Chain A
Amino acid sequence: MERNPYVPIPVDVAKITTEVTTKDIKTFRFAFVNKEDEEAFAYLPGQFAELSIFGKGESPIGIASSPTDRGYVEFTVMKAGTVTSELHNMEEGTRMGIRGPLGNTWPLEYLAGKNVVLVGGGFAFTTIRSLINYMLYEENRSRFGKITVVYGAREPGLLLYKDELALWEKRDDIEMNVTVDKGDADWKGKEGFVPAICKEVAPSSENAVALICGPPIMIRFTLPEFFNLGFSKENIFTSLEMRMKCGIGKCGRCNVGSKYVCKDGPVFSLAELDALTPEY
């Protein structure tokens, strides 16, 4: 029988990691209660799911783990509204639900054989992290060219996935450029805003695609740098957020023009966005 797309898949909170010094961003690792649900929850980087807590509601969140991580699925969530606050109060072992995977993916087919530039700002690094782990996976790495990452946060304590960042720094098959607006006494990395670091790093646009995620202000100042580097709008992708309820293109609230962010997105190229109405 067809699965009812409104009924959440039962999961247990298997692990909670506090990511930042302000403690308002945590990564939740969920384990599927039923093995067959794990098989059915086949996802790719860039997709999202509705985190579903009975009695509170649902919240659409990008998937932060990679499908190459078997046995669990992870979401990095900022404490903001009703559902995410409840989530932040949860303890490991609590049962809840997820609905998904939803939406489209980072353009994996299109990225194959190309150099990939990943730009993330602040909290908007979660589905990029999924993609990095996916591309670095042993069996996948050869399908992609050079990987260049520019990731920035306001201060060192606000960087997500610090252990992984350190591991990636040590590898020679990914170029990491981690920056903070302002470092502290222990900070040995780059200082400066993401657009400036992009300019400094100056990734070649030749056979390259850039995926850019971050606060609107960061995106606004980063895009010109990429245009200057020769990236076309067809080769720059971003991921949109909108208020959502159903996540499956019916409830009508996440449209940008004739596209629904939940079903046709969340990943769009700049060329695609240009063809839509500027209301998001």
Chain B
Amino acid sequence: METRLIKKDLLAGLIKGLAQDTLVYAPVQDEDNVLFKVLEKGMEPLTEYDNTKNAPKNFFFPQQETLMRYLKKERGSELLGVPGVTAEAVLFGVRPCDARSFVLLDNIFDDPQYRDPYYVDRREKTTIISIACTRPPYTACFCTSVGGHPLSSEGVDVSLIDLGDNWLAEFVTEKGEKLMKKLGDLPKGDEQWASKKEALAEKAAGAITTKIPGKDIKPWLDENFDHPFWDTIHASCLACGTCTYLCPTCHCFDITDEIKKSDGRRVRSWDSCMYWLFTHETSGHNPRTSQKQRWRQRFMHKFKYFVDNFDAIACVGCGRCVMYCPVNIDIRKIAQDISKL
């Protein structure tokens, strides 16, 4: 793996340089929030920030996207086309937890049996630069409990680690090395940095004090679908869906048709298992009629079903659902409570 050093105050300029001929998404300040935006002339990419409000999953799996367009005719209709291939892009400033979410989502969208062409195309064409969490930003962070690490480079092409005066840039993948060539001459980050990185990694992991039982509760979940505990978690839930929309790993979606005169499109939009309509069938039957069932589904999907299918928890510990739930439902507490049963 190639490593380079980037002077602290040069990074933003390098990224702006990339943006001159490449599509670059970067975290920028937007009123009270930090959001990923297309980096345009005059915009300043942030290199020091907590985390973006939204998870970056929408770069590969947009909140809404056109799957195909069609023309409605007098009798039947005609497919006009499928959106074409997307441009090469750089996604700069992803946190390691969010980068891991891409690896988890690949299980769903890059499944060899049915590859999702929209997701896979964007994923293949995007180079991901992460900024490691040498100082984990939130008390709600818990990546270390669900298989992640604040300095992890899983799902990352280029990993940036704050060494004080310099960023240590690790070019993890081929895509990353290709990008390195575009960054110009940079001093090599030789072995002396390895020990420094190790110390930083240890310190960062130690700073994450929230611990939840991750795979440890799986045996309980395997056996206790009908346990009375499930009656105790959902009472305050408003079924607003915020947790699922902000979640980096939630991938449920709806497919709907939109038609204006004869111009139609079939659209994919994020959906949420928190909604009653999600599973409501035409016959009137609904396998999940109560919020209790829907909460159990969300929790089980992350901590049991996904583990059954892919041997990984479908949670990266970013803490968004914990911080932004309007009624303070805390997935960490649910996991902790289960471990005490």
Residues of A within 8 A of B (CB): 2, 4-8, 10, 53-59, 80-81, 84, 91, 93-97, 241-243, 245-246, 248-253, 255, 257-258, 263, 277-280
Contact = CB atoms under 8 A, between A and B. Distances in A.
Nearest to B309: A258
Which interface residue of B111, B305, B308 has the most chain A CB atoms within 10 A?
Answer: B305
A31 B309 CA distance: 37
Contacts of A257: 225, 300, 304-305, 308
Q: Is the interface of B mostly helix, strand, loop or mixed?
A: mixed
Contacts of B113: 248-249, 263
Interface in B250-304: 251-257, 259, 264, 266, 268, 271, 273, 278-283, 287-288, 293, 297, 300-301, 304
A168 to B, nearest CB: 29
Contacts of B254: 245, 251
Nearest to B253: A251
B68 A7 contact: yes
A276 B271 CA distance: 24
Contact of A96 (B76, B225, B273): B76
B326 interface: no
Contact of B305 (A56, A248, A258): A258
Interface of B: 67-68, 70, 72, 75-79, 82, 108-109, 111, 113-117, 225, 251-257, 259, 264, 266, 268, 271, 273, 278-283, 287-288, 293, 297, 300-301, 304-306, 308-309
B111 to A, nearest CB: 7
A255 B72 CA distance: 33
A8 B70 CA distance: 11
B273 A252 contact: yes
B76 A7 contact: no
A4 B117 contact: yes
A226 B282 CA distance: 30
Nearest to B77: A54
B32 to A, nearest CB: 31
Contact of A250 (B70, B108, B225, B266): B108
Contact of B108 (A91, A242, A249, A253): A249
B287 A2 contact: no
7 contacts: A55-B72, A80-B282, A241-B281, A245-B253, A246-B255, A255-B301, A258-B305
Given A241-B281, A248-B114, A253 B255 contact: no
Contact of B114 (A94, A250, A277): A250
A254 B84 CA distance: 29
Nearest to B120: A2
Contacts of B117: 2, 4-6
B76 A95 contact: yes
A59 B280 CA distance: 13
Nearest to B108: A250
A276 to B, nearest CB: 9
Given A2-B115, A4-B82, A55-B257, 12 more contacts: A2-B117, A7-B68, A54-B70, A57-B255, A81-B282, A94-B75, A95-B78, A242-B279, A252-B252, A258-B306, A258-B308, A280-B287
A10 to B, nearest CB: 7
Contact of A95 (B75, B109, B251, B278): B75
B281 A55 contact: no
A251 B113 CA distance: 15
B109 A250 contact: yes
Nearest to A256: B287
A135 B114 CA distance: 29
A150 B117 CA distance: 44
A58 B287 contact: no
Nearest to A55: B259
B31 to A, nearest CB: 32
A96 B77 CA distance: 7
B213 to A, nearest CB: 19
A253 B279 contact: yes
A5 B251 CA distance: 17
Contact of A253 (B109, B273, B305): B273
Nearest to B73: A95
A97 B117 CA distance: 19
B75 A80 contact: no
Would you list the 10 A-B pairs with minimal beta carbon distance, nearest first? A252-B252, A95-B76, A81-B282, A258-B308, A258-B305, A248-B114, A54-B77, A54-B70, A55-B259, A80-B282
